[in-house]
A = this chain, B = another copy of it.
Amino acid sequence: MPEHGGNLDLAVARFGGSAQDWIDLSTGINRQPYPVGELPPACWSALPSKSALDALHVAARKAYGTEAPIVATHGAQAAIQLLPQLCPAGKARILGPTYGEYAAVFSAAGLQVTETSDLDALAGADLAVVVNPNNPDGRRHHPDRLLALLPRVGRLVVDESFVDPVPGLSLASQAGRPGLLIIRSFGKFFGLAGMRLGFVIGEEADIAKLAAMVGPWPVSGAAIEIGARALSDRAWAQATSARLSRDSLRLDAQVAPLGWSLIGGTPLFRLYETGDERAAQDRLARGKIWSRIFVNHAGWLRLGLPGDEGEWARLSAALGKF
């Protein structure tokens, strides 16, 4: 199973404390989450109704700017797990380096998997994957370039898990075109990763197949309630996008004196070349701040953004110890 950010178990095992002591910047999850608020008891007790799920789909379509068929999944990861069933045999090509679960899930399902760093080399794949903007390096692809690739592959999966604060990059308005599948994550931008909610947007036949695979109750009552509420709150989304953009530059400025250089990033996370990623991670960990390093990429360290001023102060103190 691939490594992941968000694995505080590892931080605790190596550096002590309990999970609550840590500021987890090892992911790209917004640390100022959408307020959960009051939940009606029926969210917990009743089977989620079809009408409530439909309302969630309507809210998601509106937020994402699409009228194409959509299906809610138990997190974006759950959508990834289903992809091999849409395309049970054949050549998968993944634009890398990127989120490790694509290669892991596809290989486990018996697909022939190639990773390439060249977008054009995806042509000819039965199943091509582009994460846009990319995790962990923030690499971006203009929607027109992806649309040009679309007819040259069987299916093009565009994972837009980190696109919310840079919506101009999204291909959601083009969803419905043959072969195009867009994956959206709810939990990263809205800071509610534990809730497990994601979406796939695509052409009718594929979305119908995915809907049959996830069954009648694909997401929890709480995910439906909170998801519909949050996705309809465009004022919160705009304010959050603006804050994340400012704060990502603040983070870059804060680490610059250490000689870390920005490789790339999104408003939700930054990837730095640190020269010595283990030393960098260890120093942050002594201040109980967890970060992400990558086995095959010496020097790289990925850092999410602190949430409130208390977290920024702890980061500043930890960085000061260098």
User: A9 contacts which of B50, B77, B196, B218 (Cβ < 8 Å)?
Assistant: B50
Instruction: Name the segment of A153-161, A186-194, A246-254, A275-283 touching the other chain.
Output: A186-194
**Shortest beta-carbon distance, A21 to chain B, in Å?**
12
Instruction: Name the segment of A37-45, A115-123, A133-141, A171-179 touching the other chain.
Output: A37-45
Number of copies: 2
Q: Do the beta carbons of A216 and B77 come within 8 Å of each other?
A: yes
The distance in angstroms between the C-alpha atoms of A105 and B209, with both chains bound, is: 12
Instruction: Name the segment of A27-35, A59-67, A232-240, A313-321 touching the other chain.
Output: A27-35
Residues of B within 8 A of A193 (CB): 45-47
Residues of B within 8 A of A105 (CB): 215
Residues of B within 8 A of A9 (CB): 49-51
Q: Which of A175-210 contact B (CB under 8 A)?
A: 191-196
Q: Do the beta carbons of B77 and A74 come within 8 Å of each other?
A: no
Residues of B within 8 A of A48 (CB): 194
Q: Do the beta carbons of B217 and A47 come within 8 Å of each other?
A: no
Q: Do the beta carbons of A8 and B74 come within 8 Å of each other?
A: no
Verify if A108 is at the interface (C-beta below 8 Å from B): yes
Q: Do the beta carbons of A20 and B42 come within 8 Å of each other?
A: yes
Q: Do the beta carbons of A45 and B33 come within 8 Å of each other?
A: yes
Q: Do the beta carbons of A195 and B213 come within 8 Å of each other?
A: no
Verify if A24 is at the interface (C-beta below 8 Å from B): yes
Q: Do the beta carbons of B194 and A44 come within 8 Å of each other?
A: yes
Q: Do the beta carbons of A44 and B192 come within 8 Å of each other?
A: yes
Instruction: Name the segment of A162-170, A220-228, A293-301 touching the other chain.
Output: A220-228
**Shortest beta-carbon distance, A7 to chain B, in Å?**
7
Q: Do the beta carbons of B49 and A29 come within 8 Å of each other?
A: no
Verify if A147 is at the interface (C-beta below 8 Å from B): no
User: A196 contacts which of B20, B24, B81, B219 (Cβ < 8 Å)?
Assistant: B219
User: A46 contacts which of B6, B50, B75, B215 (Cβ < 8 Å)?
Assistant: B6
The distance in angstroms between the C-alpha atoms of A219 and B27, with both chains bound, is: 19
User: A195 contacts which of B7, B20, B75, B221 (Cβ < 8 Å)?
Assistant: B221
Verify if A89 is at the interface (C-beta below 8 Å from B): no
Q: Do the beta carbons of B194 and A45 come within 8 Å of each other?
A: yes
Residues of B within 8 A of A194 (CB): 42-48, 220-222
The distance in angstroms between the C-alpha atoms of A239 and B295, with both chains bound, is: 52
Q: Do the beta carbons of A80 and B47 come within 8 Å of each other?
A: no
The distance in angstroms between the C-alpha atoms of A257 and B77, with both chains bound, is: 53
The distance in angstroms between the C-alpha atoms of A238 and B47, with both chains bound, is: 24
For this complex, 10 residue pairs linking A to B, each with C-beta atoms less than 8 Å apart, are: A24-B46, A36-B41, A45-B191, A45-B193, A74-B220, A77-B215, A80-B215, A101-B216, A194-B221, A220-B223
Binding site for B on A (CB under 8 A): 1, 4, 6-9, 19-20, 24, 27, 29, 31, 33, 36, 41-51, 74-75, 77-78, 80-81, 85, 101, 105, 108, 191-196, 212-223
Q: Return the 5 tightest CB-CB contacts between A and B, nearest first.
A: A194-B221, A6-B47, A196-B220, A9-B51, A47-B193
